Amino acid sequence: MEMPATDVPESLVTALRNARNIAVLTGSGISAESGVPTFRDAQTGLWARYDPMELATPEAFERDPRLVWEWYAWRRELVEKAAPNPGHEALAELESRVPDFELLTQNVDGLHRRAGSRNVIELHGNIMRSKCSVEDVLVEPREDDTGVPPSCPGCGAFLRPDVVWFGEILPAGALEKAFDAARDCDVFFSIGTSGLVQPAASLAFEAMRQGAVVVEVNPDDTPLTRHAEYALRGSAGEVLPALVRVAYG
Ligand code: APR
């Protein structure tokens, strides 16, 4: 059922009020209103000529570690300047309204935690953390290291952002927890994601299979739209606060 953002159907309000367990999957769309560009929108400025799919890969880092590190440094600056928006804040409010709540995010910007969300599973890592590209352990560069990328203080290998690149496996345990959340929830939200990248894109269907009410929040169509019980057409920053206000007052 596709509807404009503003009318929250009574049946959805009832489902939210009765829900014991809500699971939410977010993608870069929820951070768009915080000024963090989504993946599939055209890159801005200096990076317009690069395709994120070409930069967020182990091969790109192997080929040109400096370029990839600089791209992430540029994105880190964007994230540091960004603030959570009403969409992030509404999800933190929603978490306080239900007994069990899991927030599964594909985003690496840390904005959910900054908005006050607590039970957050970062499926694709976090851009603000660095790790050794060889030892795969979290480590920060030495203060005086001006290298681009900097080097691991332990073994001297390049550091890299602690994010999941295309073709890499998700953090240990994250995927299992995410599928458990999809299997246990009464309501599953898919917010601000194009639903094109696996395995995250399967979570909504896993929830549907066990009978959860699936709600999509996205201004555009995605492969999930026609399957979702509710497809709320609009931006997360508008739809989510309205939903929480109507459901919980
Ligand atoms: N509110 C809600 N949704 C929005 C908004 C908004 N204000 N603005 C854009 N969107 C939607 C777009 O319509 C699109 O469907 O957010 C989605 C963003 O899709 P992508 O750019 O593909 O981002 P995402 O789905 O998070 O990508 C998944 O793929 O690129 C890899 O690892 C990367 O985590 C990323 C994953």
Give the pLDDT confidence of 171-221 residue by residue, as tens digits: 889 999 999 999 999 999 999 999 998 899 999 999 999 999 999 999 999
- Can you tell me the mean pLDDT for 127-139? 97
Pick from 205, 21, 43: nearest CA to 119: 21
**Which ligand 1 atom sits closest to the C-alpha of 195?**
25
Residue 52: pLDDT band (50, 70, 90) is confident
Ligand 1 pocket: which of 24, 28, 109 to mutate (most atoms within 8 A of CB): 28
- Can you tell me the mean pLDDT for 2-31? 89
Residue 219, preceding peptide bond in cis (omega within 30° of 0)? no
Ligand 1 pocket: which of 38, 53, 175 to mutate (most atoms within 8 A of CB): 38
Residue recorded with tokens 């999930």 = 224
pTM, rounded to two decimals:
0.94
Q: What is the SS3 assignment for 132?
A: strand
Say yes or no to pLDDT of 87 above 90: yes
Indicate if the alpha-carbon torsion angle 149, 153, 155, 156 is positive or negative.
Answer: positive
